[in-house]
Structure 1
Amino acid sequence: MTTRILPAVGDPDAARSVVTLLSQLPDAEPAAPVTDSTQLVDTLARLAAESLDELPEVVLVHERIGPVPALDVVREVALRFPAVGVVLITADASPVLFSAAMDSGARGLVTLPLGYEELASRVQAAAQWSAGVRRHLGAGAEIATGPGGTVVTVSGAKGGVGTTVTAVHLALAARASGRTVALLDLDLQGGDIASYLDVQFRRSAADLAAITDISPRVLQDAVFVHETGLALLLAPAEGERGEEVTDRAARQIVSALRARHEVVVVDCGSQLTGANAAAIEMSDTALLVTTPDVVAVRAAKRTVRMWERLQVRKAEETVTLVNRHHRSTEIQPPLVQKITGTRTAGVSVPANFKELQAVVDAGRLHDLDAKSTVKQALWALAGELGLVGAPAPTAPGKQLARAGDRGSLGLRRRTGGR
């Protein structure tokens, strides 16, 4: 049996060394190396979308892959593509690292400098494990992509532009179409989805931060099931606890929610932290909310440029929503698109806060009248983003291409561990 191997190695010299050895393995079919973690996940997602049979049996992850730490890359590949055997290449042969690699989902560990016998043994073992998993799964099409619903992050160009209202109604629209939906509040210091939906619940995302393996039971204990059917994972009531949710914790939380829900909507607020940056990079669609005024549009541009500098998200892979739009406003969506370099949503949300004020003050945002132009626009946006089975009858929207495949974030390395 031919073993397809995808090396993920950032250093060109190390990549050549790995490929040279792989080419000597019997019945091995090494692919061209991918050079970073984002390219690795994107490549696997593209192959999985075609068929389980298209995925390589083995993925080799070099310890210096970047920008995401290697163990986090191993964990995400193992979670999202459970039929792929992951082998870590590292110079650290300590029992501590070996244990950490196994806990992350690796099927083996190869030490540097590379040796033929050890590499052949680990690749063969990982390939046999992969073949066994695929036989067990029966190669069902629904298994090919691994656990994974659609993840949409909603971020604000600045505070007060309507991020939470947008996130809540995208989730409500998806739920109304019959999908299982989780709404995660990663505005960790100032998020208050609970107040918008009249919820009092003591559990929050911070309670999952220190858990290395989020089981269905653990997740169930932390989630509040709202009367609308939304599964809510709230921000901590004590803002200082938000620091407990690191980028690694956020990746695990989002992955756990994604594995159990068809749609995951994440309210990221307007401040960039390691946690919400990880969610943004993992998402299928990153939505950036702005209002049509100079201050907000400038803030949107700064946000997009910062995401690019930190390798969180490319401008062309970001969708911008213009909220509180009016035809007489000087700044129109095409201008926002030109300034930010993003794609603007086909739907703009009208400036009609009077429709919202009563339900917001009452903490009953889910009771917003179906005739509300704001609700119709946001539910049409949900259709445009592909979050509903079909566009809402009162507000059909055209389909928008996905903003990009999911990835992970090595923000700890670039922002001092936050």
Structure 2
Amino acid sequence: MPTRILPAVGEADAARSVTTLLSQLPDAEPVAPVADSTQLVDTLARLAAESVDELPEVVVVHERIGPVPALELIREVALRFPAVGVILVTSDASPGLFQAAMDCGARGLVTLPLGYEELASRVQAVSQWSTGVRRHLGHGGDVFTGAGGTVVTVSGAKGGVGTTVTAVQLALAAQASGRTTALLDMDLQAGDIASYLDVQFRRSVVDLAAITDISPRVLADAVFRHDSGLALLLAPGEGERGEEVTDRAARQIVSALRSRYETVVVDCGAQLTGAGAAAVEMADTALLVTTPDVIAVRGAKRTVRMWDRLQIRKAEETTIVVNRHTRAAEIQPALVRRITGTAVTATTVPAHFKELQAVVDAGRLHELDNRSTVKQALWALAGELGLVKAAPEDRRAGGRLRGDRGAVSLRRRRDSGG
């Protein structure tokens, strides 16, 4: 059986060189190369959604791939697609880089300029490894084989607009519908998900910050299992320790959660940090919560522009949800859309804080009454974003859910030029 090889090479000349040499290998079946990290992850996700057997046995990653650095890309591929063997092509043959590549999950390293014998040997070894892993997966095992869960970040246009309430209720809606769901508090200095859910905890996201290889067991030790079924990864009790969570650590943590849960909701708070920026960049859907007042909408516009300047997220790739909405307000969702240049959810959240006050004060937000119009709106928002599974009677003949638009990924929107 031929070995399917997917090259990920950013430069056109290098891509032609790599593809030409791969095509000369015995029993090799190189496919069209991808030009950046975004296309690589999207391609693998699409194939994995069909079947693990559709994935290529080998992925060849060139050292100058972008925008995600090669080692971080290898780590993400290894976490999300464990049946794929990755080979790093690099001009650096130092033991330090070799060790770093292996720590990130690479199965081999080939030095530049490429040589036929070295490449053939590595491809053959990695292909055999990949085949063995797939044989093991066919008999079960505690290994994630899907394309990875959906990541939704929830950020605030300013403090006090309802970011955490939104994040918690979206996660609860996803969990209640039957999706395995993790809720990550990435508001590292002021995160209070633990207070909203009355949780006493010892471990937090900081405990994962210095770990280079987050295994399922290590992740499980850091996660708090809530009575609602949610897996909680909480902000540190000592806010100053939030600085220990770098953008690189955030990428690893979000990737690890994505590899184990169908839905990952991340509360990023209202203050931009490197870790929060990394989460927003990685997200399939980035929500920005605002209220219909001048100060908050100005804050939303400022945030959208900052994300764009820092190349975290384009305005058209950001989705705003209007909280505390009333029909009498001068600022309506259509105006928010024009001011910010973003998409705005069809679902708005009504201004009925009195429904929330008792459960918030008691730290029992998960016990919010089903008759609450705020809860109904936020759970409807979860449906609009494609985070909930509908009952069988709500499915169309083609298998799509009514009102389920799905969460359009950042990467796919970039590929389509959106």
Normalising by structure 1, what TM-score? 0.89
TM-superposed deviation, 1:57: 1.9
Q: Equivalent residues in 2 for 1:56-205 (5 A)?
A: 56-138=56-138, 146=146, 148-205=148-205
TM-superposed deviation, 1:350: 0.7
TM-superposed deviation, 1:203: 1.6
CA distance in 1, matches of 2:306, 2:87: 33
**Mean CA deviation greater in 59-68 or 43-52:** 43-52
CA distance in 2, matches of 1:46, 1:397: 22
Q: Structure 1 residues 340, 2: closer, same or farther in 2, change over 3 A?
A: farther
CA distance in 2, matches of 1:55, 1:273: 35
CA distance in 2, matches of 1:84, 1:3: 12
Partner of 2:280: 280
CA distance in 2, matches of 1:121, 1:190: 52
Equivalent residue letter for 2:96 = V
DSSP 3-state at the match of 2:87: strand
Partner of 1:381: 381
CA distance in 2, matches of 1:30, 1:308: 36
**Mean CA deviation greater in 356-365 or 322-331:** 356-365
Equivalent residue letter for 2:374 = V
DSSP 3-state at the match of 1:304: helix
Partner of 1:400: 405
Q: Deviations over 1:204-248 (max 9, x none)?
A: 100111112223333233222222222211101111111111122
Equivalent residue letter for 2:198 = D
CA distance in 1, matches of 2:206, 2:300: 28
Equivalent residue letter for 1:398 = G
Equivalent residue letter for 2:408 = A
Q: Structure 1 residues 145, 345: closer, same or farther in 2, change over 3 A?
A: farther
Partner of 2:323: 323
Equivalent residue letter for 1:378 = L
DSSP 3-state at the match of 1:83: coil
CA distance in 2, matches of 1:219, 1:188: 18
Mapped pair 1:367 → 2:367 = yes
TM-superposed deviation, 1:75: 0.7
TM-superposed deviation, 1:319: 2.2
TM-superposed deviation, 1:139: 9.7
Equivalent residue letter for 2:228 = T
Residues 283, 406 of structure 1: 8 Å contact kept:
no
DSSP 3-state at the match of 1:280: helix
CA distance in 1, matches of 2:341, 2:31: 34
Partner of 1:351: 351
Partner of 1:46: 46
Equivalent residue letter for 2:262 = E
Residues 381, 397 of structure 1: 8 Å contact kept:
no
Q: Deviations over 1:118-137 (max 9, x none)?
A: 11221222222222222332
CA distance in 2, matches of 1:223, 1:98: 31
**Mean CA deviation greater in 95-104 or 4-13:** 4-13
CA distance in 1, matches of 2:316, 2:56: 29
TM-superposed deviation, 1:347: 0.8
CA distance in 1, matches of 2:362, 2:155: 24
Partner of 2:228: 228
Normalising by structure 2, what TM-score? 0.89
DSSP 3-state at the match of 2:252: helix
CA distance in 2, matches of 1:262, 1:52: 17
Q: Deviations over 1:82-128 (max 9, x none)?
A: 12111001111111211111121111101112112211221222222
Equivalent residue letter for 1:155 = S
**Mean CA deviation greater in 207-216 or 82-91:** 207-216
Q: Deviations over 1:19-49 (max 9, x none)?
A: 2322332333323332221121112112222
Partner of 2:7: 7
Equivalent residue letter for 1:273 = T
DSSP 3-state at the match of 2:348: coil
Q: Structure 1 residues 226, 401: closer, same or farther in 2, change over 3 A?
A: closer
Q: Equivalent residues in 2 for 1:205-220 (5 A)?
A: 205-220=205-220
Equivalent residue letter for 2:218 = V
Q: Structure 1 residues 406, 282: closer, same or farther in 2, change over 3 A?
A: farther
Residues 45, 145 of structure 1: 8 Å contact kept:
no
Q: Deviations over 1:266-314 (max 9, x none)?
A: 1011222222222223323222211222332233233233333434334
Gapped regions of structure 2 (runs ≥ 5): 394-400, 413-418
Residues 49, 146 of structure 2: 8 Å contact kept:
no
Aligned length: 403
CA distance in 2, matches of 1:153, 1:139: 35
Partner of 2:397: none
Partner of 1:415: none
Gapped regions of structure 1 (runs ≥ 5): 408-418
TM-superposed deviation, 1:147: 6.5
Residues 198, 364 of structure 1: 8 Å contact kept:
yes
Residues 326, 351 of structure 1: 8 Å contact kept:
yes
Mapped pair 1:332 → 2:337 = no
TM-superposed deviation, 1:405: 5.7
